[in-house]
């Protein structure tokens, strides 16, 4: 039975409860009916605060993005540290919620919370001496890293070989490792370096890519680079 105090329900309370439900049971478990059970209200009560499942998911992402906020750097010259801290702040949130990456990648609408995060990161570059043009392009360059994660390239490598692999390939179930010698070489080298690992070291890969990007971005600033002006007279 719904509690008599359900009138105290708010959008914030609904969204926070949905985040906790996703943490506990997975993103697929977050339905209006299940969330209503958790909040001990009737499902229709939720529609006063979220219009539909898509609005609920967008709001959950907003909750996470708002948690990503970090203070700006104390000085403009500390822009690299400021960007790094902002991106690691986002990464901490994503790592705390296993479903976050999937939810963030599914969003196509820039809500005020999403725009606020983009503004905070962009403002660090701008305050550090980057032009609006440079800031535009380096934000593109950083890509999903502004949300705290990197695209994964090597999620696994073909390990079978010989006739068994070719038999599976014939059934369309497995690729033949012989067709991907460079990937096999990469996997073999990585396994030798980290014998106990079952996947890439995401934290190392994130920082490795971020540091290389920031080195290149700094060179753009020093060179006073600007994109071509394609306007026509």
Q: What is the Cα gyration radius of the chain?
A: 23
Residue 172 pLDDT > 80? no
Does residue 231 or residue 130 have the better pLDDT? Answer: 130
Residue pair 138/220 in contact by the 8 Å Cβ criterion? yes
Count, residues in the chain: 233
| Residue 183: both structure tokens together | 């990937």
Sequence-distant (6+) residues with CB within 8 A of 86 are: 68, 70, 120, 121, 124, 146
What is the pLDDT, as a whole number, of residue 170? 47
What is the pLDDT, as a whole number, of residue 161? 44
Q: What is the dihedral of CA 49, 55, 58, 63, to 10 degrees?
A: 10
Cα–Cα dist 150/170, whole Å: 33
Average pLDDT over residues 180-204: 87
* Enclosing H/E stretch for 168: helix 162-170
DSSP 8-class letter at 29: G
Q: What is the dihedral of CA 98, 100, 101, 107, to 10 degrees?
A: 160
Residue 156 pLDDT > 80? no
Range of weakest confidence among 61-65, 154-158, 206-210: 154-158
Cα–Cα dist 180/182, whole Å: 6
Residue pair 86/70 in contact by the 8 Å Cβ criterion? yes
What is the pLDDT, as a whole number, of residue 2? 43
Tens digit of each residue's pLDDT (9 = 90 or more) over 23-46? 999 999 999 999 999 999 999 999
**Nearest Cα to Cα of residue 198 among 212, 186, 187:** 187
What is the pLDDT, as a whole number, of residue 153? 72
**Nearest Cα to Cα of residue 134 among 31, 17, 217, 22:** 217
**Nearest Cα to Cα of residue 58 among 30, 33, 37:** 30
Tens digit of each residue's pLDDT (9 = 90 or more) over 105-155? 988 888 999 999 999 999 999 999 999 999 999 999 999 999 999 877 765
Cα–Cα dist 219/225, whole Å: 9
């Amino acid at each position: 039975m719904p509690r008599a105090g359900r009138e105290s329900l708010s959008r914030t309370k609904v969204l926070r409860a949905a985040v906790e439900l996703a943490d506990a049971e997975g993103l697929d478990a977050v339905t209006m009916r299940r969330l209503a059970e958790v909040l001990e209200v009737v499902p229709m009560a939720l529609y006063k605060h979220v219009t539909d499942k898509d609005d609920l998911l967008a709001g959950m992402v907003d909750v996470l993005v708002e948690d990503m906020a970090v203070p700006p750097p104390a000085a403009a010259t500390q822009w690299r540290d400021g960007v790094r801290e902002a991106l690691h702040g986002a990464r901490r949130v994503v790592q705390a919620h296993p479903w976050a990456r999937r939810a963030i990648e599914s969003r196509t609408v820039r809500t005020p919370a999403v725009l606020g995060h983009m503004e905070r990161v962009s403002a660090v570059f701008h305050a550090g001496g980057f032009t609006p043009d440079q800031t535009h392009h380096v934000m593109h360059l950083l890509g999903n890293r502004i949300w705290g994660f990197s695209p994964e390239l090597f999620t696994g490598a073909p390990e079978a070989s010989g006739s068994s692999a070719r038999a599976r390939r014939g059934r369309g179930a497995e690729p033949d490792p012989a067709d991907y010698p460079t990937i096999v070489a990469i996997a073999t080298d990585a396994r030798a370096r980290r014998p106990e690992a079952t996947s890439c070291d995401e934290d190392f890969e994130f920082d490795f890519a971020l540091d290389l990007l920031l080195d290149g971005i700094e060179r753009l600033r020093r060179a006073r680079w600007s994109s071509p002006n394609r306007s026509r007279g």
